[in-house]
Amino acid sequence: MMASNTEIQIKENGVLDDTSLDVAAAESFLQKSMAIILEDAVKKAVDVRQKVCEWRSPEELKDLLDLELREDGESETRILQRCRDAIRYSVKTTHPHFFNQLYAGLEPYSMAASFITEALKPSVYTYEVSPVFTLMEDAVLRKIIQVLGWEEGDGIFNAGGSMSNMYAMNLARYRCFPEIKEHGNSAAPRLVVFTSQECHYSISKAAALMGIGTKNVIVVPADKRGKMIPSALEEQIKSAKNEGAVPFMVNATAGTTVLGAFDPIDEIADICEKYKLWLHVDACWGGAVILSNKHKHLMKGIQRVNSVAWNPHKMLMACLQCSAFLVRDKTRLLQHCHSARASYLFQQDKFYDLSYDTGDKSVQCSRKPDAFKFWLMWKALGTRELEHRVDRALVMARYLAEQMKKREGFKLVMEPEFANVCFWYIPPSLRDLPDCPEFWKKLHNVAPLIKERMMKKGSMMVGYQPHGGRANFFRMVVISPQVSKQDMDFVLDEIHSLGMDL
């Protein structure tokens, strides 16, 4: 229609001349922003003398950031200032005093790999658009499979461990009832999955999303250290079967979120073999122990399981996100379970070996090359240094626990077996109270108040939570080799100083 109107045509084509991006200006902007990033988001962020965070309430921060998006754009100077502000008011998760999550610290090789992928903007689905990252993902997966002691296997990097756990549940379901892929769960019996009370909440989220239902996630009791009790699991399996439900999967956790507990994989595997259930291990947090000759006994039996989720972005410090899902299988289950065979993306008449087009193993379409972040740091550090990092984290946990025993007012929730050190700080005002409900009720309020004070001061960040019937307690986790014994002493001094008047 427009084509027949030459005048409009010419006018419109004018648009094609006047808007070419000024590439030189873009490069110059990137250079300037990079200088800011290296100075403020790397150098200053990891400097122990700087704050972990510069706390502002949501209302204050909204004012400071001027969030509104307008008709007109802004100058380069203004945008560079916005970069500085975004960094300034963000939490510095690479700071040596950030202990708030199960990730922390600066890992330069992985960070460089991140920057490279952001600049190249690849999506890993076909070899033709991601040749390098496809091969690197394959190499990393193969290496992990070898470390796990599996003879064969397949895998994929996902956007987080929650997704990996969901993949496990989908594969487990597909193995039992492949027809569900086409016909849905409504044609199937009531399927049930088993997991311990200490498991990550993603198991429940996966069951909800997958049409299995959160009530069909059967919670198995854990012992006082937080480990699943195998005999209780078997009880639950029997009782579910008696009710007419169909068990199809057990999720064991290697490194629970709060207590850092490892479920006894070998004993659980015996039960799974007996009842022909898929055994998945959520090792997102604890999986790194497999690299440690000293600590890999925590995952004894891992060579027998069906699938594993492991996040190198946690203990091994790969940049967020770096989440591997592995399946012990040689039947291309991942492909069969997830494939949709989109002909516009996975053309069958390409000129190279199509087994390198891995995208149809995923439920995502575009997918980031997260494996590269792990590959580059593994190359730089070697397996030995990765092992050392794990060992060091566990020595640090024990050091911290010992220091707490030497100090008044610190009480361990339990002796650490892994990297999680869970403890209460008891202010002087509560120290003489007897161990009664009143004491615990008062103690419950202490951690949130200390947390508020440390955030507002910006001196450090440590997570706390209630847990089962327990009053709020802190969970310390030291991941980064930046963190020294002196930092541990600082943490304990600081908690005391923030909470002594409570």
How would you label 226-238 residue by residue, b for 16+ Cβ within 10 Å and e otherwise? bbbbbebbbebbe
Which positions from 210 to 249 touch its own copies by CB under 8 A, shown as an x/- string? xxxxxxx---------------------------------
For its own copies, the closer of residues 258 and 324 by Cβ is: 258
d(CA 148, CA 171) in angstroms, rounded, equals 19
The residue (of 291 and 299) whose beta carbon lies closer to its own copies is 291
Residues 169-188 that bind its own copies (CB under 8 A): 170, 173, 180-188
Nearer to its own copies by Cβ, of 76 and 273: the residue is: 76
| Pick 46 or 269: Cβ nearer its own copies | 46
Identified binder of its own copies from the candidate list 129, 218, 412, 414, rule CB under 8 A: 129
Helix (H/G/I), strand (E/B), else coil: 6: helix
Strand partners, 335: none
Tell me, what amino acid is at 196? S
Please identify which residue in 97, 99, 100, 145 interacts with its own copies, judged by CB under 8 A.
100
Min dist. Cβ of residue 49 to its own copies (A) = 12
- Helix/strand/coil for 254: strand
| 3-class state of residue 368 by DSSP | coil
Containing H/E element for 404? helix 370-406
Phi, psi of 309, deg, nearest 5: -110, 130
The one among 135, 219, 271, 414 contacting its own copies by CB under 8 A = 135
Nearest to 462 by CA among 439, 492, 436: 492
- Is 147:308 a contact under the CB 8 Å cutoff? no
Binding residue for its own copies (CB under 8 A) from 151, 349, 408, 501?
A: 349
Q: Report whether the peptide linkage leading into residue 486 is cis, meaning its omega lies within 30 degrees of zero.
A: no
Please check whether residue 322 is in contact with residue 110, taking contact to mean a CB–CB distance below 8 angstroms.
Answer: yes
The interface mask with its own copies, positions 58-97, x = CB under 8 A, is x--xx--x-xxxxxxxx---xx--xx-xxx-xxxxxx---
Question: What's the min distance (Å) between Cβ of 273 and its own copies?
Answer: 26
Q: Work out whether 41 is an interface residue with its own copies (CB under 8 A).
A: yes
Total chain residues near its own copies (CB under 8 A): 190
Q: Candidates 356, 439, 440, 490: give the one binding its own copies (CB under 8 A).
A: 356
Nearer of residues 40 and 494 to its own copies, judged by Cβ: 40
Question: In sequence order, what are the beta bridge partners of 193?
Answer: 217, 249
> Please, is 55 exposed, middle or buried when counting C-beta atoms within 10 Å of its C-beta (0-12, 13-18, 19+)?
middle
3-state SS, residue 223: coil
x/- binding map, residues 256-285, to its own copies, per CB under 8 A?
Answer: -xx---------------------------
Q: How far is the CB of 34 from its own copies (least distance, A)?
A: 5
Q: Kindly state the smallest distance separating residue 270's Cβ from its own copies, in Å.
A: 27
> What is the pattern of x (binds its own copies, CB under 8 A) and - over residues 303-342?
----------x-----xxx---------------xx-xxx
Distances (CA, A) of 170 to 187, 210, 225, 275, 497: 16, 8, 30, 19, 49
State the minimum distance, in angstroms, from the CB of residue 30 to its own copies.
5
Tell me, letter by letter, the H, E, C secondary structure of 100-125.
CCCCCCCCHHHHHHHHHHHHHCCCCC
Nearer to its own copies, 219 or 271 (CB): 219
> Minimum CB separation from its own copies for residue 105, in Å?
8
In the shown chain, the binding pattern of residues 435 to 474 toward its own copies, with x for contact by CB under 8 A and - for none, equals ----------x--x--xx--x-----x-xxxxx----x--
In this chain, which of 241, 276, 379, 441 binds its own copies, going by CB under 8 A?
A: 379
CA distance 450 to 438: 19
Question: Taking the complex as a whole, how short is the minimal distance between the CB of residue 63 and its own copies, in angstroms?
Answer: 11
Give CA–CA dist 192/495, Å, rounded: 44
Binding span for its own copies by CB under 8 A among 266-274, 302-310, 435-443, 475-483: 475-483
State the nearest-atom distance from the C-beta of 285 to its own copies, in Å.
11
Closest CA to 322 of 156, 90, 128, 204: 156
